[in-house]
Amino acid sequence: MSRSLSILPVLGMPEIEQGADLGELIVKGLELRSGDVVVVTSKIVSKAEGRLMRADDREAAIDAEAVRVVARRGRTRIVQNRQGLVMAAAGVDASNTAPGTILLLPLDPDGSARRIRARIQELTGHQVGVLITDTFGRPWRNGLTDVAIGAAGVSVVEDHRGRTDSHGNELALTVTATADELAAAADLVKGKATGTPVAVVRGLPEALTEADGAGVSPLIRSLEDDMFRYGTSEAMRAAVTMRRTVREFSTEPVHPQAIRRAVAAAVTAPAPHHTMPWRFVLLETAQARTALLDAMLAAWQRDLRELDGWDEARIARRTARGDVLRNAPYLVVPCLVMAGSHDYPDARRAGAEREMFTVAIGAAVQNLLVTLAGEGYGTAWVSSTMFCRDTVREVLELPAGWDPMGAVAVGRPAAVPQDRPERAADPFITVR
């Protein structure tokens, strides 16, 4: 069914001051009908609600409004604000306000929309929908557009999933952001510099709801579903923070391509003499993992018994630490190769040369672990292969020059790791 929409400006709105009755001013500016959607720029709502402040410290105002930094480049910040909206500068705005002042977003845009809606119904008897809007930039797209940040009496999304298109194909992903489309359409009439902060969209009564509804919350993607929740540097810091030793894994298999992406990141680590001193052995089958771990267990038991004189109970307690490897669905064995190293005749320089290469593989493994954390995998880097290198090389049929540098268990964590407290840098810094 085709439809025709009208977008009407609400003219004659005065400069808004704190305490202004927006519902009454809107009714005076345009004769409303039931089924209209009234679209109100957030700036006048903020002014009416006393969210105007002196611009002594805009950065401090952004800090106060933000709950999470999403991305930062120079002085520009994309943040999540207290309403859950991800936007530039937490919506703190210096446009369309007197010099030396700034506007903060309404504390509760949904509540603002509900109050305006109730006031319009009180004055006119008409059932309308109300949207509060603000201007957003968008990832991957140049230019700005208005979106809904508050709503009352409007079905903000239309879920098409389960319906069929004109060719009979079932729609599986399509959810239309109706409120944002209405906000953008109304902004073509309101404009940014015309002094017309309110417009009415007429001709879409099916978008209205009798109750105020849930506001704009259905439009806000949860953090769990947001694949783009961080900027570049923030994503790196988050991945480093998420990287932790996981000792219990679920049975969910590990995607081999995720491991290969992590290895590709690992081999970008710095290394001495322009070498590539890393090799990564991927144990993708249960048979390969079991064969290696059984052989390592036998070697450990032999050494602890014959070289250290431990009794069987103590040996059992010590080797039980290897269960984290045995219970993981995937193992990676990083190996150090010294090809390209310099041959020094004295032990001091030869030892330093090996240490340089050892540091390089440590950096590579850190890249591997951080990348896997970004993919949602947990890891545990265990040193046990370093104590039975000959056994590992024999079982995995590795060249003599490959030195196993532990083993990395990989998998989905069986439980959500506890939050890690922030660790200050100062105790680890010496300045000269």
Instruction: Reply yes or no on whether the pLDDT at 166 is more than 90.
Output: no
pTM: 0.65
pLDDT given for residue 85 in this prediction: 86
Helix H or strand E segment including 394: helix 389-396
* pLDDT confidence bin for 86, thresholds 50/70/90: confident
pLDDT given for residue 235 in this prediction: 64
Using CB atoms within 10 A of its CB, is residue 82 exposed (0-12), middle (13-18) or buried (19+)?
middle
Q: Which of 197, 176, 199 lies closest to 186 in space, CA to CA? A: 199
Q: What average pLDDT is seen over the chain?
A: 89
pLDDT given for residue 146 in this prediction: 93
- Is pLDDT larger for residue 52 or for residue 330? 330
- Is pLDDT larger for residue 79 or for residue 297? 297
Instruction: Reply yes or no on whether the pLDDT at 194 is more than 80.
Output: no
* Contact predicate 103/97, CB 8 Å: yes
Q: At 295, is the secondary structure helix, strand, or coil?
A: helix
In total, the chain counts a number of residues equal to 432
Q: How many other C-beta atoms lie within 10 A of the C-beta of residue 297? A: 18
Which residues is 217 bridged to in the sheet? Answer: none
Residue with tokens 């845009």: 109
Percent of the chain at pLDDT above 70?
Answer: 93
Q: At 199, is the secondary structure helix, strand, or coil?
A: strand
pLDDT given for residue 1 in this prediction: 40
* pLDDT confidence bin for 184, thresholds 50/70/90: very high
Please state the rounded mean pLDDT for residues 169-175: 67
Strand order in the sheet with 86-88: 66-73, 76-81, 86-88
Percent of the chain at pLDDT above 90?
Answer: 65
In 171-302, the DSSP E strands lie at: 175-176, 198-202, 278-283
Helix H or strand E segment including 58: helix 58-65
> How confident is the model over 18-49, as pLDDT tens digits?
999 999 999 999 999 999 999 999 999 999 99
Choice among 71-80, 114-123, 283-292, 349-358 with the minimum mean pLDDT: 71-80
Maximum mean pLDDT: which of 114-128, 167-181, 242-256: 114-128
> How confident is the model over 215-273, as pLDDT tens digits?
999 998 887 777 777 666 666 666 676 777 888 999 999 999 999 999 999 999 999 99
> How confident is the model over 261-314, as pLDDT tens digits?
999 999 999 999 999 999 999 999 999 999 999 999 999 999 999 999 999 999
Residue with tokens 């509760």: 108
pLDDT given for residue 45 in this prediction: 96
Q: What one-character-per-residue DSSP string does 213-268 give?
A: -STTGGGSPPGGG-TT-S-HHHHHHHHHHH--B---B-SPPPPHHHHHHHHHHHTT
Can you list the domains of the chain with their CATH numbers? Answer: 6-51+106-225 (3.30.1330.100), 238-428 (3.40.109.10)
